[in-house]
Chains A and B, each alone.
Chain A
Amino acid sequence: MGIISSSIARKVAMALSGLFLVFFLGQHFTINLMSVFSPDTFNETSHFMGTNPIVQFLLQPVLIFGVVFHFIMGFILEIRNRNARAVKYASYKGSANASWASRNMIISGLVILAFLGLHFYDFWAPELNVKYFKGDMSGLIDPDNVNSGFRYYEELVHKFESPIRVGIYVVAFLLLAVHLWHGFASSFQSVGFNNKYSVALTKFAKVYAIVIPAGFIFIALYLHLNQLPH
């Protein structure tokens, strides 16, 4: 049995892809936060991210690979883990010795995966359509009018008009917080990092797991409430 199929190698791969996605979330959040404070900065940054060849053709494929790898490996491990106990317990008190978040990563993960489907439908697919199918790389509201301004902020605000979509986003972010609550801190243990710095690192990971999803929820609610008739 080679290293690729070994339980520890897979666990480390799960942790490293997870850490990469955690880093990406922080970057995504930073850009989104700009939409609250300065729509112009948000527009400029979105245009840069959406048209820069390094971001588009190097970083974006790496990100997509990271996401796909993380959930495929997650499923493979889940199946192996379920098979490791063929006869289930009649009475199993999981809450006595482990947190709900740690025992239900597959549930929070599946909700996040479903959310990613909606998120891609909302933002990624239209973006691919405009840029690579229609060939409009201008990022302008009206590509024939250079004074029409960037479209990104307007599109973002428009997406958060529907209270149902905002509700779905909020629920997904709550499950993201649950997923990160266990996943982020746990990834250090998986790569073998457990020493005198672990307590501080775990605290940081737990704070991150709350602050980032809470921030995303704030942005979604802010963009929604900001456009209600006053």
Chain B
Amino acid sequence: MKLNLKIWRQADATSKGSIQTYPIDGVEGDMSFLEMLDVLNEDLINKGDEPVVFDHDCREGICGSCSLQINGEPHGPDRLVTTCQLHMRKFNDGDTITIEPFRAKAFPVVKDLMIDRSSFDRIQQAGGYVSVNTSGNTIDANAIPIEKENADDAFYAATCIGCGACVAACKNASAMLFTSAKVSQYALLPQGQVEATTRVLNMVEQMDKEGFGNCTNTGACEVECPKGISLENIARMNREYLSASLKG
């Protein structure tokens, strides 16, 4: 199929970018979206032009590296998939596709479609861990009985790959779905209780410092999340935050 691509080009973090148009031919339905961009880049390189820079790694939908706002939606029009798992059969011959980086003040553009998501790393570093002493007295985690429901919810929260689609979809560029998933995966488990109070306070404080917007419960994040992370996690984080604030 023939497509008309409108792609955000930006030379570096400080340059002013703009949308450029690239016609592309010979795209097949079985190609993934990133393979389609590979075809475009081969073409650009052959012509001696600068290829389009975009984030990618595993191309299996599990690493959280790929991003892209495709026709106004993070990871494109399909649901529960990342851009690398989005197939070109979701588009029609002659379509115009607008491709932009995930937009947020806390996700500055590095080049073209590549963004810096280290703000997520700093939120994680602020409390998204459990301290375990490896002194020789470590207890096997599987030896602690955990309610099935809590184990499942913690697991689902932990499936967040940190891609940033929640931020990209949110009209406020809020990172509450990501942060709440990272809070929830520990809040639901006994191993997470030791640092429960400081964890949520520190992670929310870091989230605010990074310049993300505030959640207004539109639910866009949950719809666009490639892993289907639930809004229940945000309610849980709000509860955790309130109870941690009261404890001091």
Q: B122 contacts the other chain (Cβ, under 8 Å)?
A: no
**A5, A85, A91, A103: which contacts B173 (Cβ < 8 A)?**
A85
Stretch at the interface among A8-16, A51-59, A170-178, A213-221: A8-16
- Contact flags A65-88 to B (C-beta < 8 A → 1, else 0): 000000000000100111111111
Inter-subunit contact A85/B105 (CB<8 Å): yes
A residues 82-108 with Cβ under 8 Å of B?
Answer: 82-94, 96-99, 102-103, 105
Inter-subunit contact A98/B171 (CB<8 Å): yes
Q: A162 contacts the other chain (Cβ, under 8 Å)?
A: no
Inter-subunit contact B69/A194 (CB<8 Å): no
Q: A84-B106, A97-B219 are in contact. Are A91 and B100 (CB under 8 A)?
A: yes
Inter-subunit contact A80/B235 (CB<8 Å): no
In the bound assembly, the distance between CA atoms of A5 and B205 in angstroms comes to 10
In the bound assembly, the distance between CA atoms of A91 and B211 in angstroms comes to 22
Q: B63 contacts the other chain (Cβ, under 8 Å)?
A: no
Q: Which of A81, A84, A87, A190 has the most CB of B within 10 A?
A: A84
Chain B residues lying within 8 Å of A85, measured Cβ to Cβ, are 103-105, 172-173, 213
B residues 116-141 with Cβ under 8 Å of A?
Answer: none
In the bound assembly, the distance between CA atoms of A23 and B189 in angstroms comes to 37
In the bound assembly, the distance between CA atoms of A10 and B8 in angstroms comes to 35
Inter-subunit contact A98/B104 (CB<8 Å): no
Chain B residues lying within 8 Å of A9, measured Cβ to Cβ, are 241, 245
Which of chain B's residues has its CB closest to A194's CB? Answer: B235
In the bound assembly, the distance between CA atoms of A6 and B237 in angstroms comes to 13
In the bound assembly, the distance between CA atoms of A88 and B106 in angstroms comes to 13
How distant is B245 from chain A, measured CB to nearest CB, in Å?
5
Can you show 21 pairs from A to B with CB atoms below 8 A apart? Answer: A6-B205, A7-B174, A7-B204, A8-B204, A8-B242, A10-B214, A11-B238, A80-B213, A81-B171, A81-B174, A85-B103, A90-B98, A91-B100, A94-B171, A97-B219, A186-B216, A189-B235, A190-B215, A190-B217, A192-B236, A194-B232
How distant is B120 from chain A, measured CB to nearest CB, in Å?
14
In the bound assembly, the distance between CA atoms of A98 and B22 in angstroms comes to 31
Q: B73 contacts the other chain (Cβ, under 8 Å)?
A: yes
Q: A1-B205, A6-B204, A97-B224 are in contact. Are A91 and B71 (CB under 8 A)?
A: yes
- Contact flags B199-233 to A (C-beta < 8 A → 1, else 0): 00000110111011111111110011000000110
Q: Which of A86, A88, A192 has the most CB of B within 10 A?
A: A192
In the bound assembly, the distance between CA atoms of A103 and B216 in angstroms comes to 8
Q: Which of B19, B104, B172 has the most CB of A within 10 A?
A: B172
Inter-subunit contact A102/B214 (CB<8 Å): no
Inter-subunit contact B214/A97 (CB<8 Å): no
Q: A96-B72, A105-B216 are in contact. Are A90 and B231 (CB under 8 A)?
A: no
Inter-subunit contact A97/B73 (CB<8 Å): yes
Chain B residues lying within 8 Å of A92, measured Cβ to Cβ, are 69, 72
Inter-subunit contact A102/B219 (CB<8 Å): yes
Chain B, interface size category, equals 35 or more
In the bound assembly, the distance between CA atoms of A88 and B211 in angstroms comes to 15
Inter-subunit contact B72/A93 (CB<8 Å): yes
Q: B29 contacts the other chain (Cβ, under 8 Å)?
A: no
Inter-subunit contact B103/A103 (CB<8 Å): no
Q: B239 contacts the other chain (Cβ, under 8 Å)?
A: yes
Inter-subunit contact A83/B241 (CB<8 Å): no
Q: A97-B220, A182-B217 are in contact. Are A12 and B103 (CB under 8 A)?
A: no
Chain B residues lying within 8 Å of A20, measured Cβ to Cβ, are none
Inter-subunit contact A191/B212 (CB<8 Å): no
In the bound assembly, the distance between CA atoms of A61 and B242 in angstroms comes to 27
Chain B residues lying within 8 Å of A94, measured Cβ to Cβ, are 72, 171, 220
How distant is B73 from chain A, measured CB to nearest CB, in Å?
5
Q: A3 contacts the other chain (Cβ, under 8 Å)?
A: yes
Chain A residues lying within 8 Å of B220, measured Cβ to Cβ, are 94, 97-98
In the bound assembly, the distance between CA atoms of A193 and B215 in angstroms comes to 15
Q: B77 contacts the other chain (Cβ, under 8 Å)?
A: yes
In the bound assembly, the distance between CA atoms of A11 and B216 in angstroms comes to 8
In the bound assembly, the distance between CA atoms of A91 and B234 in angstroms comes to 27
In the bound assembly, the distance between CA atoms of A145 and B19 in angstroms comes to 76
In the bound assembly, the distance between CA atoms of A91 and B19 in angstroms comes to 11
